[in-house]
Structure 1
Amino acid sequence: MKRANKRPESVLVVVYTAAGEILMLRRTHPRDFWQSVTGSLEWGESSVQAARRELYEETGIQAGVALLDLACNESFPILPAWRSRYGPSVHANREHWFSVMLPFRRQPRLHHGEHAEYRWVPYTQALQLATSWTNRKAIRYIFS
């Protein structure tokens, strides 16, 4: 059963290699928005299920046992431009963090309606590229 309002919970999946390169994706809209894998939880879906689904939908990567639940989350305000997608009293989103370490770079299969470009970059460049403060905080958490 599909619900009219979007669930105010999402996942953030930081994908990186054993050499420390981080996969960053550039959104199609807004054009200069760089991020790790992200996506909303569907109604009835766990955060782990959403992380696996979003990772595969956005990159074609199947995480298997490499998906690590970081047991961290952040809440952030939903911007007014997007608030109509949620219930009338919803003003914040809860983001659950995950990571996937790959032995080496893979060429992701991008979901072209969502992402236009990808880059494997070192830590400092990932922090510079990441548009979202929660994305930067998650990267720092993983590499601290």
Structure 2
Amino acid sequence: MPTYKKPVSVLIIVHTVNLQVLLLERADHPGYWQSVTGSQDQDETLLQTAIRELKEETGLDAACYELTDWHIQNQYEIFQEWRWRYAPGITQNMEHVFGLKVPRIIPISIAAREHLRSIWLPWEEAAEKVFSWSNAQAIRMLGSVGNNV
């Protein structure tokens, strides 16, 4: 029996104190830039999901920085090209937004199977570069409230 992804995910905006934002280019869709994101595993809290995804996708240990649950949820339609990962009939995902504040631009280790490269950009540029409306919205929120999220 196939194992399907749970239609619950986290989006983590990794940013510096001066609002430089880390973006990753998807390996399965070159040209699609995004923040750290990933699906919740069974028996995992959302915080555990965020910590795991940060480690898997960037090599960053969330315990060394300031990881915050922004208490924002976005429901969106799963792109047709990725629906095979979910149980038949699942078309919607619930995304939970977190932020990880780091002191400055720091080196990361990307997961080669998931991402091609990374880039740090000022929040305005990052919001324009991401492909997802919810990712852009979260980055713009960061820019509007600064380090208070």
TM-score, structure 2 as length reference: 0.91
> Distance between the aligned counterparts of 1:142 and 1:123, measured in 2?
8
Deviation at 1:3, TM superposition (A): 6.6
Maintained 8 Å contact 2:68/2:99: yes
Structure number having the greater helix percentage = 2
Query: Over residues 59-107 of structure 1, what are the superposed CA-to-partner deviations in whole Å (9 max), with x where a residue is unaligned?
Result: 0111126100000010001122222221223110000000011111111
Maintained 8 Å contact 2:124/2:140: no
Q: Number of residues paired by the alignment?
A: 143
Matched position secondary structure for 1:81 = helix
Matched position secondary structure for 2:106 = coil
Query: Over residues 94-139 of structure 1, what are the superposed CA-to-partner deviations in whole Å (9 max), with x where a residue is unaligned?
Result: 0000001111111110101111111111011101211111100111
Deviation at 1:28, TM superposition (A): 1.1
Q: 1:47 to 1:3 in 2, by over 3 A?
A: farther
Structure 2 regions of 5+ residues with no counterpart? Answer: 145-149
Q: Which residue of 2 aligns with 1:69?
A: 69
Q: Which residue of 2 aligns with 1:5?
A: 4
Q: Which residue of 2 aligns with 1:16?
A: 15
> Distance between the aligned counterparts of 1:44 and 1:111, measured in 2?
23
TM-score, structure 1 as length reference: 0.94
Percent identity between the two aligned chains:
37
Question: RMSD across aligned C-alpha pairs, in angstroms?
Answer: 1.4
Structure 1 regions of 5+ residues with no counterpart? Answer: none
